[in-house]
Amino acid sequence: MNLQNIEELEIYFADHFGTLLFPVLAEHYLTEGDHERAHKVSEIGLGHHPDHVPGLFLEARIYRAEGKLKEAKRLLKKTVSLDPAHFNAHILLAEVQVDLGRSAKTVRKLYETVIAMDSTNEKAKAWLAKRTSKGSTKKTERRPPRASLASFPITPQVATFTLMAVLKSQKLYRQAVEVLMVMSGKKDADMERIAREKSDLMKLLKS
Protein backbone atom coordinates (compact mmCIF):
# COMPACT_ATOMS: atom_id res chain seq x y z
CA MET A 1 0.00 0.00 0.00
CA ASN A 2 1.20 3.48 -0.90
CA LEU A 3 0.83 5.66 2.20
CA GLN A 4 1.01 8.85 0.15
CA ASN A 5 -1.99 7.76 -1.93
CA ILE A 6 -5.14 8.94 -0.16
CA GLU A 7 -7.41 6.69 -2.21
CA GLU A 8 -5.45 3.57 -1.24
CA LEU A 9 -5.47 4.65 2.40
CA GLU A 10 -9.21 5.28 2.26
CA ILE A 11 -9.87 1.82 0.80
CA TYR A 12 -7.63 0.19 3.40
CA PHE A 13 -9.18 2.15 6.25
CA ALA A 14 -12.71 1.24 5.10
CA ASP A 15 -11.80 -2.44 5.45
CA HIS A 16 -9.72 -2.04 8.63
CA PHE A 17 -11.37 0.44 10.99
CA GLY A 18 -9.14 -0.86 13.78
CA THR A 19 -5.87 -0.05 12.03
CA LEU A 20 -3.30 1.96 13.95
CA LEU A 21 -2.50 3.84 10.75
CA PHE A 22 -5.56 6.07 11.09
CA PRO A 23 -3.50 9.17 12.05
CA VAL A 24 -1.69 8.95 8.70
CA LEU A 25 -4.95 9.22 6.74
CA ALA A 26 -6.28 11.88 9.11
CA GLU A 27 -3.13 13.95 8.62
CA HIS A 28 -3.62 13.83 4.85
CA TYR A 29 -7.07 15.35 5.34
CA LEU A 30 -5.75 17.89 7.83
CA THR A 31 -3.05 18.99 5.39
CA GLU A 32 -5.73 19.49 2.75
CA GLY A 33 -7.84 21.50 5.17
CA ASP A 34 -10.60 18.87 5.18
CA HIS A 35 -11.25 19.00 8.91
CA GLU A 36 -14.54 17.14 8.75
CA ARG A 37 -12.99 14.03 7.21
CA ALA A 38 -9.93 14.31 9.43
CA HIS A 39 -12.18 14.28 12.49
CA LYS A 40 -14.22 11.36 11.18
CA VAL A 41 -11.15 9.18 10.67
CA SER A 42 -9.69 10.17 14.06
CA GLU A 43 -12.97 9.52 15.87
CA ILE A 44 -13.25 6.05 14.35
CA GLY A 45 -9.62 5.24 15.10
CA LEU A 46 -9.79 6.54 18.66
CA GLY A 47 -13.00 4.59 19.13
CA HIS A 48 -10.92 1.44 18.67
CA HIS A 49 -7.80 2.79 20.38
CA PRO A 50 -8.84 5.50 22.87
CA ASP A 51 -5.35 5.87 24.36
CA HIS A 52 -3.44 5.91 21.07
CA VAL A 53 -1.05 8.83 21.62
CA PRO A 54 -0.33 9.69 17.95
CA GLY A 55 -4.07 9.68 17.27
CA LEU A 56 -4.87 11.89 20.26
CA PHE A 57 -2.18 14.37 19.27
CA LEU A 58 -3.41 14.45 15.66
CA GLU A 59 -6.99 15.05 16.79
CA ALA A 60 -5.80 17.89 19.02
CA ARG A 61 -4.05 19.44 16.03
CA ILE A 62 -7.29 19.28 14.03
CA TYR A 63 -9.18 21.08 16.80
CA ARG A 64 -6.42 23.68 17.06
CA ALA A 65 -6.59 24.28 13.29
CA GLU A 66 -10.34 24.85 13.65
CA GLY A 67 -9.84 27.28 16.51
CA LYS A 68 -11.56 24.93 18.97
CA LEU A 69 -8.98 25.53 21.64
CA LYS A 70 -10.73 24.02 24.65
CA GLU A 71 -11.16 20.71 22.83
CA ALA A 72 -7.53 20.83 21.74
CA LYS A 73 -6.41 21.54 25.31
CA ARG A 74 -8.39 18.58 26.65
CA LEU A 75 -6.80 16.16 24.20
CA LEU A 76 -3.31 17.57 24.67
CA LYS A 77 -3.59 17.15 28.44
CA LYS A 78 -4.59 13.52 27.90
CA THR A 79 -1.69 13.07 25.48
CA VAL A 80 0.94 14.30 27.94
CA SER A 81 -0.63 12.34 30.77
CA LEU A 82 -0.27 9.14 28.72
CA ASP A 83 3.15 10.11 27.39
CA PRO A 84 4.90 12.68 29.61
CA ALA A 85 7.86 12.71 27.21
CA HIS A 86 5.75 13.83 24.24
CA PHE A 87 7.72 17.00 23.55
CA ASN A 88 5.50 18.43 20.83
CA ALA A 89 2.35 17.91 22.86
CA HIS A 90 3.90 20.05 25.62
CA ILE A 91 4.79 22.73 23.07
CA LEU A 92 1.33 22.77 21.50
CA LEU A 93 -0.36 22.74 24.89
CA ALA A 94 1.61 25.82 25.91
CA GLU A 95 0.62 27.59 22.69
CA VAL A 96 -3.03 26.69 23.18
CA GLN A 97 -2.98 27.91 26.77
CA VAL A 98 -1.51 31.22 25.58
CA ASP A 99 -4.25 31.49 22.94
CA LEU A 100 -6.84 30.80 25.63
CA GLY A 101 -5.46 33.62 27.74
CA ARG A 102 -4.47 31.40 30.64
CA SER A 103 -2.38 32.79 33.49
CA ALA A 104 1.34 33.36 33.13
CA LYS A 105 1.86 30.87 35.96
CA THR A 106 0.15 28.12 33.94
CA VAL A 107 2.07 28.90 30.75
CA ARG A 108 5.38 29.31 32.58
CA LYS A 109 5.09 25.82 34.05
CA LEU A 110 4.54 24.35 30.60
CA TYR A 111 7.43 26.18 28.98
CA GLU A 112 9.72 25.30 31.90
CA THR A 113 8.85 21.66 31.19
CA VAL A 114 9.76 22.22 27.55
CA ILE A 115 13.09 23.79 28.54
CA ALA A 116 13.82 20.85 30.84
CA MET A 117 13.35 18.57 27.85
CA ASP A 118 15.20 20.78 25.36
CA SER A 119 17.18 23.71 26.71
CA THR A 120 17.66 25.11 23.19
CA ASN A 121 13.99 25.47 22.33
CA GLU A 122 13.65 28.99 20.95
CA LYS A 123 9.91 29.39 21.48
CA ALA A 124 10.09 28.51 25.17
CA LYS A 125 13.23 30.62 25.69
CA ALA A 126 11.63 33.62 23.99
CA TRP A 127 8.47 33.42 26.11
CA LEU A 128 10.39 33.03 29.37
CA ALA A 129 12.87 35.76 28.46
CA LYS A 130 10.03 38.13 27.65
CA ARG A 131 8.47 37.53 31.05
CA THR A 132 11.81 37.97 32.79
CA SER A 133 12.52 41.20 30.94
CA LYS A 134 9.23 42.55 32.17
CA GLY A 135 10.27 41.80 35.72
CA SER A 136 7.99 38.82 36.04
CA THR A 137 10.33 36.93 38.29
CA LYS A 138 7.57 36.14 40.71
CA LYS A 139 5.73 32.97 39.77
CA THR A 140 2.16 34.23 40.03
CA GLU A 141 1.22 33.68 36.65
CA ARG A 142 -9.37 -4.15 13.24
CA ARG A 143 -5.49 -4.07 13.44
CA PRO A 144 -3.02 -4.83 10.65
CA PRO A 145 -0.15 -7.22 11.41
CA ARG A 146 3.07 -5.62 12.57
CA ALA A 147 4.85 -7.09 9.56
CA SER A 148 2.64 -5.10 7.24
CA LEU A 149 3.56 -1.88 9.04
CA ALA A 150 7.23 -2.74 8.76
CA SER A 151 6.96 -3.38 5.04
CA PHE A 152 5.57 -0.01 3.99
CA PRO A 153 7.95 1.85 1.66
CA ILE A 154 9.21 5.07 3.23
CA THR A 155 9.21 7.83 0.61
CA PRO A 156 9.83 11.57 1.15
CA GLN A 157 6.15 12.26 0.52
CA VAL A 158 4.92 9.93 3.25
CA ALA A 159 7.73 10.48 5.78
CA THR A 160 6.20 12.59 8.57
CA PHE A 161 6.48 12.84 12.34
CA THR A 162 3.00 11.29 12.52
CA LEU A 163 4.13 8.15 10.70
CA MET A 164 7.25 8.05 12.87
CA ALA A 165 5.08 8.22 16.00
CA VAL A 166 2.82 5.42 14.75
CA LEU A 167 5.82 3.17 14.07
CA LYS A 168 7.33 4.09 17.44
CA SER A 169 4.08 3.21 19.21
CA GLN A 170 4.26 -0.24 17.59
CA LYS A 171 7.89 -0.64 18.71
CA LEU A 172 9.08 -0.58 15.10
CA TYR A 173 12.01 1.57 16.07
CA ARG A 174 14.26 0.85 13.09
CA GLN A 175 11.50 1.79 10.67
CA ALA A 176 10.83 4.93 12.70
CA VAL A 177 14.52 5.85 12.42
CA GLU A 178 14.29 5.29 8.66
CA VAL A 179 11.42 7.78 8.51
CA LEU A 180 13.55 10.36 10.30
CA MET A 181 16.47 9.75 7.95
CA VAL A 182 14.24 10.35 4.94
CA MET A 183 12.82 13.47 6.56
CA SER A 184 16.29 14.85 7.19
CA GLY A 185 16.80 15.09 3.45
CA LYS A 186 13.77 17.33 2.96
CA LYS A 187 14.01 21.04 2.42
CA ASP A 188 13.30 23.02 5.61
CA ALA A 189 13.53 19.86 7.71
CA ASP A 190 13.22 20.39 11.47
CA MET A 191 16.69 19.04 12.19
CA GLU A 192 16.56 19.76 15.94
CA ARG A 193 13.42 17.71 16.41
CA ILE A 194 14.69 14.99 14.07
CA ALA A 195 17.89 14.71 16.12
CA ARG A 196 15.93 14.60 19.38
CA GLU A 197 13.52 11.94 18.12
CA LYS A 198 16.37 9.89 16.67
CA SER A 199 18.25 10.02 19.97
CA ASP A 200 15.16 8.69 21.79
CA LEU A 201 14.74 5.90 19.25
CA MET A 202 18.37 4.86 19.46
CA LYS A 203 18.03 4.55 23.23
CA LEU A 204 14.97 2.35 22.72
CA LEU A 205 16.84 0.20 20.22
CA LYS A 206 19.63 -0.37 22.74
CA SER A 207 17.30 -1.18 25.65
Domain ranges, residue 150: 146-206
* pLDDT per residue as tens digits for the range 99-139: 999 998 999 999 888 888 888 888 888 888 887 655 544 44
Q: Are residues 125 and 32 in the same domain?
A: yes
The answer to whether residue 139 is domain-embedded is no
* pLDDT per residue as tens digits for the range 26-61: 999 999 999 999 999 999 999 999 999 999 999 999
The pLDDT mean for the chain works out to 83
The answer to whether residue 1 is domain-embedded is no
pTM: predicted TM-score of the whole model, two decimal places? 0.67
| Burial (Cβ within 10 Å: 0-12, 13-18, ≥19) of residue 17 | middle
136-171: buried (b, 16+ CB within 10 Å) or exposed (e) per residue? Answer: eeeeeeeebeeeebeebebeeebbbbbbbbbbbbbe
| C-alpha–C-alpha distance, residues 83 and 118, integer Å | 16
69 vs 18, higher pLDDT: 69
Domain count, the chain: 2
The answer to whether residue 138 is domain-embedded is no
| C-alpha–C-alpha distance, residues 14 and 142, integer Å | 10
Residue 160 has pLDDT above 80, yes or no: yes
The answer to whether residue 140 is domain-embedded is no
147 pLDDT band, cuts 50/70/90, is very low
Least confident window among 24-33, 94-103, 149-158 = 149-158
